[in-house]
Amino acid sequence: MKKDLTLLVLAAGMGSRYGGLKQLDPLGPSGETIMDYSVFDALRAGFNRVVFIIRKDFEEDFKRQIGARYADHVNVEYAFQSLDDLPGNFTVPEGRQKPWGTGHAVYAARKLLSTPFAVINADDFYGADSYRQLADYLANAPQTEKIRGCIAAFILSNTLSENGSVSRGICTSKDGKLAKVVENTKIFRRDGKVISEQEDGTEVIFSGNELVSMNSWGFMPEIVGEIEANFEEFLRRRGTEMKSEFYLPALVDTLITSGRAEIEMRTSRDSWFGVTYREDRPLVQAALQNLVDSGKYPKSLFA
């Protein structure tokens, strides 16, 4: 029996560095957004449901410009990420405006995640192979007492922007399983080197060949309870801070370190690209045009 597979798209980001709602930006030859390519690739790989995490303030525009495109192709649902969506008696610190992070975005969809699901960013192009890797794992995940999941990782040097720093989770593996993922929030190129500036201001130099998390994950639904419990613990420790974030890679790392999760390591054979900064836009447009010209995608998606 074919499994129901859900694609969870994190599309609530504020786009502060980009200067607008990049999730709605037409970048493809026929006005497609990056999300259009993501949904197209996911459907080809076997996913049959899409859940978008968005904000209430652009719900109408998003549904009209994005969601309506897929109405005849796949079941589409929505969840809403908001600062005040917190468990128990926790409240938003006065003056905080920054979202709680990618882990909280998945938390926002907790009531919709009863089947195996993949998690992706709305503004990242992952390529068809990533979705095949995720779908293959989710459809055939081994039975185990641990929290089950996988990651489709990318090579660090292929995920950098020439227009500023990026945040990446650096991965290490052992015996085909993810051993550790460490979030580096400010990675950039300087003088031909790949550098990560740490929170204390020190710098770490990477080779560029490291595998990184681009928030391309696959999970079985039992992780939802762990997300809820770990988010509560995060709020107890750091919930009064103005800019602390509950990162999904950090949650996965915690579960692995505690021995509670087993995350299979997959490496995508495709190249990643994205629009972290507005200056990235022409490069992404050219890359999408090349993929269409080479025959990997039709000229118009969901026509």
Indicate the pTM of the whole model.
0.89
Q: What is the mean pLDDT of residues 186-196?
A: 94
Closest CA to 276 of 154, 186, 152: 186
Strands 124-125 and 203-206: unpaired
Q: What percent of the chain has a predicted confidence (pLDDT) above 90? A: 71
Does residue 248 have a pLDDT over 70? yes
| Contact in structure between 166 and 18 (CB atoms under 8 Å) | no
Closest CA to 205 of 190, 226, 216, 223: 190
Residue 21 has a pLDDT of 64
Residue 1 has a pLDDT of 54
Strands 166-174 and 147-155: unpaired
Residue 22 has a pLDDT of 65
How sure is the predictor about 207, in pLDDT bands with cuts at 50, 70 and 90? Answer: very high
The model's pLDDT over 107-165, given as tens digits with 9 standing for 90+, comes to 999 999 999 999 999 989 999 999 999 999 999 998 889 999 999 999 998 888 888 89
How sure is the predictor about 92, in pLDDT bands with cuts at 50, 70 and 90? Answer: very high
**Going by C-beta distance under 8 Å and a sequence separation of 6 or more, which residues neighbour residue 8?**
51, 53, 106, 109, 113, 117, 118, 119, 120
